[in-house]
Amino acid sequence: MVYNQNSMALNSRIISAHIKGKVSVWRDRLTRELSRGKHGGTSEGNRINTYFDGDEAFDAMLVAISNAKHFVHLEMYMFLADNIGSRFANALSQKASEGVPVRVLYDAIGSLETDNMQWAKMRDAGVNVVEFRPVAFWRKRCGLLGRNHRKNLVIDGMACFTGGMNISDQWSKKHSGNSAWRDTHCKVLGPAAIHLNSLFLASWQYATGEKIDLQPLASSPDNAADQTHAKPDNKNGDGCRCIVIGSQRFSSQKEIRKLFSVHLAQAQHSVRMTMPYFVPPKRLRRAVYEACKRGVSVSALLPRDSDVKIVDYLREGLYPKMLSKGVRLIEYLGPVLHAKTMVVDDNIAVIGSSNFDILSVLMNSEAAIVVFDEDTVAALNRQWENDLSLSDPVGEDWKIKRPWWRLLAAKVGCFLIRKL
């Protein structure tokens, strides 16, 4: 009996090593596929912390700003002048007054409601504030399309934050109560911050014409990256591999499309997406259907009612075909869902600003980080289970839960989507 137990233990180790070997090969292949683009990069030795609560994320970001010693780069779609916005404006202004270079790039449409006095006060304090793609046609680099949809903060090139959270009270339970938006953000300590910063520098150069050359910084206990005390999700002392993926408006649309299509093509068992805006173009819809055809379980957690109603109608136009192809659709019934995440085969996590829609894939500047880390995957999976408790699966009877006018809108949406 002892012999049999030892044999079973040995076989278990052999099988485990075999599986780990296959996963390693698969990850390397995925890394090669996603690293061929011009924007982003691959790095090892990163430490990750995920946030599903806006106040926790904001507190960590503000601590990082206060500890910055070399520079602060903020690239934000929506930076409002409310309670949270004022806290960030004050923190950035304070850091600039200390002589640390602070650069802020905000999107003209995303931050359209922001009081201009906030920008003026920040500039008076020494913050270099720039508007991305102004809507005034007489100004340089103006336009309506090609927005900067990123939500990135980089500190000293050693710590960075990215995900779906903008700077606004809408993400704060302290100020919005139970109506605070459900979102996901992350902090990364390590070399991935350099790659995220390169995205900022490219956007800054486009918006201002100024090319910024920054010298690499040596890691030390005094850097801001080491003074943000929240414990990372990944317990591996050596850190983990990350791939930063970024698109720059119309010039590199394929980067975000590849982010989704490569993962769908490489998935072997499961893909779980949480997406607020789910209107994929034809090529991505085909990638979803092909994954289902191979036997991959593809699940999408979507809001029943998002903050953009027309997107809901377009999305529901996809329901009949998605269900017929075997896609598992789940509607979130809680507060506004705004998270943009993906978990592939319980081995890979994706967190970013990119929606599974035409604007993110074809037009906007977006950013996402691909994380090869079991603990980060586990954190996203736990949140997935929490979200399911506030959700309702979409079945063949979904139409009876809609008023007639919304079903009509879905039919129109279905017609429009077929043309895309």
Sign of the torsion angle spanned by Cα atoms 307, 318, 275, 357:
negative
Find the range with the poorest average confidence among 14-18, 107-111, 208-212, 344-348. 14-18
SS3 395: coil
Q: Sorting pLDDT into bands at 50, 70 and 90, what band is 358?
A: confident
Q: Is the pLDDT of residue 102 over 70?
A: yes
Confidence band (pLDDT; 50, 70, 90) for 414?
confident
- Rounded percentage of the chain residues whose pLDDT exceeds 70: 81
Task: Kindly tell me if the per-residue pLDDT of 223 is higher than 50.
Answer: no
| pLDDT exceeds 60 at position 37 | no
| Better-scored residue on pLDDT, 287 or 36 | 287
pLDDT score for 408: 84
Is residue 296 within 8 Å of residue 265, measured between CB atoms? Answer: no
Using pLDDT thresholds of 50, 70 and 90, give the confidence band for residue 15. very low
Question: What is the mean predicted confidence (pLDDT) over 130-153?
Answer: 80
Axis crossing angle, helix 309-316 with helix 404-418, rounded to the nearest 10: 70
* Residues 304 and 331 sit within 8 Å (Cβ to Cβ): yes
Integer distance in angstroms from the first to the last C-alpha of the chain?
64
* Domain contains 404: no
Q: How far apart are CA 392 and CA 307, in angstroms?
A: 18
Residue 244 lies in a domain: yes
Query: What pLDDT does residue 222 have?
Result: 41
SS3 407: helix
Residue 198 lies in a domain: yes
Q: Looking up tokens 């953000």, which residue turns up? A: 185
- Please tell me the least confidently modeled range out of 22-26, 133-137, 167-171, 385-389: 22-26
**pLDDT reported for residue 237:** 65
User: Is 294 a member of any domain?
Assistant: no
Residue 199 covered by a domain? yes
Across the strands, what pairs with 195? none
Q: Is the dihedral of CA 224, 227, 229, 235 positive or negative?
A: positive
The region of weakest confidence among 28-42, 103-117, 219-233, 239-253 is 219-233
pLDDT above 80 for 27: no
Interval 289-306 mean pLDDT: 97
Per DSSP, the residues of 304-353 read SS-S-HHHHHHHHTTHHHHHHTT-EEEEE-SSPB---EEEETTTEEEEES
Evaluate if residue 342 carries a pLDDT over 70.
Answer: yes
In a domain, 2, yes or no: no
User: What is the predicted pLDDT for the residue at 326?
Assistant: 96
Percent of the chain surpassing pLDDT 90: 65
The pLDDT tens digits for 234-269 are 666 678 999 999 887 655 567 888 899 999 999 999
Q: What is the CATH number of the domain that holds 52?
A: 3.30.870.10
What pLDDT, on the 0 to 100 scale, is given for residue 257?
87
- Across 286-300, 307-321, 339-353, least confident range: 307-321
Question: Does 289 map to a domain?
Answer: no
Own/partner pairs, 402-410, CB within 8 angstroms, 24+ separation: 402/316, 406/313, 406/316, 409/313, 409/316, 410/313, 410/316, 410/317, 410/319
For residue 165, pLDDT beyond 60: yes
pLDDT on residue 10: 43
Q: Write phi, then psi, for 246 (nearest 5 degrees).
A: -145, 145
Write the pLDDT tens digit of every residue in 57-95.
Answer: 999 999 999 999 999 999 999 999 999 999 999 999 999
Q: What is the per-residue pLDDT for 9?
A: 47
pLDDT, residue 125, reads: 97
For the segment 113-121, the average pLDDT, to the nearest whole number, is 95
Query: Is 316 inside any structural domain?
Result: no
pLDDT at residue 3 in the model = 40
In terms of pLDDT, which residue wins out, 152 or 146? 152
Task: State how many domains the chain has.
Answer: 1
Average pLDDT along the chain: 86
- DSSP per position, 248-316: -GGGGTHHHHHHHHHHHHH-SSEEEEE-S-EE--HHHHHHHHHHHHTT-EEEEEEESS-S-HHHHHHHH
Task: Say how far apart CA 359 and CA 344 lie, in whole Å.
Answer: 23
The residue-averaged pLDDT of 312-328 equals: 93
Range of the domain at 67: 11-276+338-389
